[in-house]
Amino acid sequence: MKLPAISVIIPMYNAEKYIGECLDSILNQTFQDFEVIVVDDCSTDKSVSIVQRYAAKFNGRFKLAKTQKNSGGGGYVPRNFGLKLSRGEYIFFADADDVVAKNAFEILIAAAQNFEADVVYVSRHYSCGNNGDYNLISDEIGLFAEKKGIAEEPTLTLNDPNKNLRLLLFKAASRNPWTKFVRRDFLIENDIEFPNVISGGDFLWCIQVFCHAKRFLRLPLSLYFYRSDSAESVSRKKRTPSEQSVHWVAAFVAWLKALNELTDKTEILRRNSFYCRQALVLHFLYCLEHCSEGEAQPDSQELYDALYREFSKSPYDLTVPFFFSVIDTCQKNLVEAQERITELEEALKGAN
């Protein structure tokens, strides 16, 4: 039996609102040599029944699998399970509430084969928020991006993990798996899987991919539509300010342990500690941002208390002062920004 060129792996949990739209976007691809593997993470809504109605439309190129128990979020168990079931030459991860551009697979497979790439990194995507509008997200305009030296044409990096990691950690490359089109044998040969963490597993997976890719292709196109307002997201569950602080500090501790494990087995990370420090800062800022998300607005003391409880009796206790300084700096910047906005508003009133 001929193996498919692409395995599309979709982790799913309570996605009844969007999974049909996701599967339709894959059915309508201009390139059809693929298989689809949906891994249900013990959904409690109608997601599974909706997916089952789609199975026949894929003409034998469809698998529906189920985890033994709900993983708790993060997608790491369903994605790893899907990878074990896959047979394609290339792997593409999609989220159950997102949409793939109609010609995405045609472009990705051509680019991967023409450049013999281990990894094709698609540097742009569209993000859909609560208002239904799609905004273009690109590493060219990211917080850490440099305007110089970012090409508008496909660029191939050969045997240069330092360049790859600088792109990921200092030039705002996307830390999501669905912007990566990856050769399956590359993942298996380098034992690259999603780590067992609820938050930040995608980031750690990307670090592994960027470390090991010998032929890394950056493709400056937009082929994916990401829905950023999914109600089932682990990061968007409603919590009190105190619960929010505890959750995200604990999530960061687990992530830090996984980063240390990854560093121990990855030479380039062991030899270049500044990569680990930058990754740590980026993910801590991510967790800190979510601590103050929505109605949950913890004060500094709540964050300090949560950090102290999680770190004071661990091997990472020396990092506590660093975290405190980051929190203080962020809040100081926020206050200064608000004061500046007030000054500008007053100046505008005076001018009128």
From the list 269, 268, 303, 309, the residue with the least C-alpha distance to 285 is: 303
Q: How many residues does the chain have?
A: 352
What is the DSSP track for 49-80? Answer: HHHHHHGGGGTT-EEEEE-SS---SSSHHHHH
CA gap 305, 230 in Å, rounded? 30
Q: Distance between alpha carbon 338 and the CA centroid of its chain, in Å?
A: 30
The pLDDT, as a whole number, for residue 123 is 94
Please report which helix (H) or strand (E) contains residue 273, including its range: helix 273-291
Cα 170 from Cα 173, distance rounded (Å): 8
List CB contacts of 77: < 8 A, sequence separation 6 or more: 41, 67, 71
Question: Roughly how many angstroms between the first and final C-alpha of the chain, as a whole number?
Answer: 75
Give the residue among 90, 108, 93, 114 at the shortest CA–CA distance from 3. Answer: 90
- What is 6-227's CATH number? 3.90.550.10
Strands (E), 21-147: 34-40, 62-66, 90-93, 99-100, 119-128, 134-138
Specify the residue for token string 């609560």.
Answer: 130
Using CA atoms, how far apart are residues 38 and 9, in angstroms rounded to an integer? 6
Q: What is the pTM (predicted TM-score) of this model?
A: 0.84
Whole-number Å distance between alpha carbons of 327 and 332: 8
Distance CA 39, CA 220 (A): 30
- Per-position pLDDT tens, the chain of length 352: 689 999 999 999 999 999 999 999 999 999 999 999 999 999 999 999 999 999 999 999 999 999 999 988 878 999 999 999 999 999 999 999 999 999 999 999 999 999 999 999 999 999 987 777 788 888 865 444 444 445 578 999 999 999 999 999 998 899 999 999 999 999 999 999 999 998 899 999 999 999 999 999 999 999 999 997 654 454 446 667 677 777 887 888 889 889 999 999 999 999 998 999 899 888 988 887 777 665 555 556 666 666 666 666 555 554 555 555 555 555 555 445 445 545 555 655 555 5
Task: Decide if 266 contacts 211 (C-beta within 8 A).
Answer: yes
Please state, in angstroms and rounded to a whole number, the distance separating the CA atoms of residues 271 and 150.
26
What does DSSP say about strands 215-227 and 119-128: parallel, antiparallel, or unpaired? parallel
CA-CA-CA-CA dihedral for 103, 104, 110, 111, to nearest 10: 140
Q: How far is CA 12 from CA 26, 82, 88, in A?
A: 15, 11, 20
Q: What are phi and psi of 183, to 5 degrees?
A: -70, 130
- Detail the DSSP E strand segments found in 147-271: 155-158, 180-183, 215-227
51 close to 38: Cβ distance less than 8 angstroms = yes
